[in-house]
Amino acid sequence: MNLHLLRLFTTVAEQHGFSRAAEVLNISQPAVSKGVRELEAQLHCVLMERSPGGVRLTEAGTVLLSHATALFAAERRAEEELQALRGLTQGELHVGASTTIATYVLPR
């Protein structure tokens, strides 16, 4: 299972259909369908029931969506924390100063 296929699956589930997911992802609908079929083949289970009106997650699809959502949320948090460290908005700063400066200047 790779993250690209997992993202295709989660987008289809969130958008309730392959065509809407394709629009959101800016790729073709057949590419989305192929990706979800490939994920289902890798996992050896059906994740979605397809119908002309959209899709409905199977029990396996619901379980996978829950874990995938948590995974992508953790990925976003990790990226935000790393960006904060790169931007010096978070982390540790060690400063050496004399007693006078430490007492009167640094507290400000």
Confidence check: pLDDT of 95 > 80? no
Q: What does the block give as tokens for 1?
A: 């299972």
Taking residues 57-69, what's their average pLDDT? 98
Kindly report the average pLDDT of the chain as a whole number. Answer: 90
Domains of the chain: 3-86 (1.10.10.10)
Taking residues 67-87, what's their average pLDDT? 90
What's the whole-model pTM score?
Answer: 0.75
Confidence check: pLDDT of 33 > 90? yes
Contact criterion met (CB below 8 Å) for 81 and 90: yes
Instruction: List pLDDT tens digits, range 7-28.
Output: 999 999 999 999 999 999 999 9
Q: What is the 3-state secondary structure (H, E, C) of the chain?
A: CCHHHHHHHHHHHHHCCHHHHHHHHCCCHHHHHHHHHHHHHHHCCCCEEEECCEEEECHHHHHHHHHHHHHHHHHHHHHHHHHHHHCCCCCCCCCCCCHHHHHHCCCC
Give pLDDT, residue 1.
83
- Between 12-16, 60-64, 80-84, the lowest mean confidence (pLDDT) is in 80-84
Give pLDDT, residue 88.
65
Give pLDDT, residue 96.
80
Tokens 């995938």 -> residue: 68
Confidence check: pLDDT of 48 > 70? yes
